[in-house]
Each structure stands twice: as structure tokens, then as C-alpha cells.
Amino acid sequence: MKQYFVYILTNIKNTALYIGVTNNLVRRVYEHKNKLVEGFTQKYNLTKLVYYEIFEDPQNAIQREKVSRIF
């Protein structure tokens, strides 16, 4: 069974949030922590995982990520 994750990262001071989707949460958080992902997370040092949800269907995970961005 394949799993998909919607996850939220923040920085050490909890002043910025990033919401993403991945099929390998451990790898993706490692990439963020080690600055292997260029862009927003690297610029604002978002390396602290604060929340995640697991989905079996990638479309449901993507939909959840989009809804989360509204808040």
C-alpha cells in the first residue's frame, strides 16, 4: 500500500509555515533539514516538522494540502 503525506514545517521561532505533499516523509524532511530543497523552505530555514497526515490516495492528499493553504 502506497502512502502519501501532507506535512507542515516551520522554523525554530515558529514564524513561518510551509505545507507540502510527499510520498516519503522521512526523505522529504531530511531534504528540508539539510537545505537540499531550494526555495521558500531554504530561505526561511523551515526545518521543524510540526504536523502530518497520511493518505492512501494521492488526489486526497493534494486536495487536503490545497485546503490547508487557505488557513
The domains of the chain are located at 18-70
CA distances from 62 to 23, 25, 56 (A): 11, 14, 11
pTM of the model: 0.91
Q: Could you read off the pLDDT of 6-54 as tens digits, one per residue?
A: 999 999 999 999 999 999 999 999 999 999 989 999 999 999 999 999 9
pLDDT of res. 69: 67
Distance CA 21, CA 15 (A): 21
